[in-house]
Amino acid sequence: MIEVPASFREMPRWWSEGTAWLDALPMLADAQCERWSLRPDGSPRHGSNAMVLPVRRGQQRLGLRLTPPGDELASTIAALRFWSGRGTVELVAADADHGALLLEWLDADRSLASLPPAEAFPIIGRTIRRLAVPAPAGVRSTGEEAIEEADSWPRRWSDLGEPLSAPLLDSALGCARALAEPATPDLAVDADLHFEQVLAGFREPWLVVDPVLLRGDIGYDLGRILWSRLDELGNDAAVRHWLDILVEAAELDRDRARRWVVTRATSYLFWGLERGLTEDPARCLRLLHLFADRPT
């Protein structure tokens, strides 16, 4: 039986969802290993929502990823099958009924978060561009995401006690609405791309895990990339410089990239405040002040 890491139990999602799934996780992992003829081969790792157990099948090293019921596992499976190892981890097997994926083995101790910004930013920018292949039919667009989020902001802004100025909210709304029609509507986008989601590989130097497939503007998640390391990036001029590095590496339009930073930072600001977070909302607010259109 594996032991669930204490740090996984401390993740914010369990504050509201309870720990029933966590408590059953050792038995769930053991049962899945039996189904797939796997044997555990090290201590489990985790993100905020899933646990990955190092395993072997024969001599082959793999990762057994387990997620709670109700997670969007079918979407993850579809995304991994779509990219099929092009810049992403390879999917070896999937068992959606039991919340399990069997994945190519990566170095879970080395993500792009471990590299200094001067190395990590160009790599993640090139990764954004590499994933930008023609998207499959029927995938939700980045424009739909932006408008749906923006429509909820005035109510949430009021409910949260007006955590940013009205002119700044209006500017953010303008940015989101300007993105309703993607500039590249047929390109695939990973909507959950940040430094901790890019791990060192063996087949390739760096590979994306847990992709979320959208279509449209590939600069969709630039805000998350910036706020996740904002404290390391220096003064305001330096932060603008790092956005320029991403824009160049990913071959993006700079003004459209700026609007995506504002849009995603506003969404996460409200999401974080609604869940009692303190550090990331402050970072998002800084990005809004840096990149939102200046009210006249």
pLDDT of residue 295: 47
Nearest Cα neighbor of 132 from 72, 78, 170, 187 is 187
Tokens representing 200? Answer: 């060192």
Distance CA 212, CA 203 (A): 22
Same domain, 117 and 150: yes
Mean pLDDT for the stretch of residues 41-52: 89
pLDDT band (50, 70, 90) for residue 258: very high
- What is the number of structural domains in the chain? 2
Q: Are residues 19 and 93 in the same domain?
A: yes
CATH number of the domain that residue 129 is part of: 3.90.1200.10
Please check whether residues 36 and 52 belong to one and the same domain.
yes
How many CB atoms within 10 Å of residue 192?
A: 18
Same domain assignment for residues 142 and 228? yes
Does residue 151 carry a pLDDT above 80?
A: yes
Contact 210, 192 (CB under 8 A): yes
Cβ neighbours, 10 Å, residue 272: 19
- The yes-or-no verdict on residue 1 having pLDDT over 80 is no
Mean pLDDT is lowest, of 75-89, 183-197, 236-250, 282-296, for 282-296
What range defines the domain where residue 211 resides?
111-291
Active site (catalytic) residues = 192
Q: Which residue has the higher pLDDT, 108 or 99?
A: 99
Query: Which of 62, 86, 105 is at the close of a domain?
Result: 105
Question: What integer pLDDT is reported at residue 296 of this predicted model?
Answer: 33
Tokens of 190: 């990973």
**Is this prediction's pTM over 0.85?**
yes
User: Final residue of a domain: which of 105, 140, 171?
Assistant: 105
95 and 190 belong to one structural domain = no
pLDDT, the chain, mean: 94
> Is the Cβ–Cβ distance between 260 and 223 less than 8 Å?
yes
pLDDT value at 250 more than 60: yes
Average pLDDT over residues 3-15: 87
Pairwise CA distance, residues 268 & 30, whole Å: 36
Alpha carbon distance 212, 196 (integer Å): 14
Q: How far apart are CA 73 and CA 249, in angstroms?
A: 30
Name the percent of the chain lying above pLDDT 90.
86
Q: Is the pLDDT of residue 71 over 90?
A: no
For residues 97 and 115, state if they share a domain: no
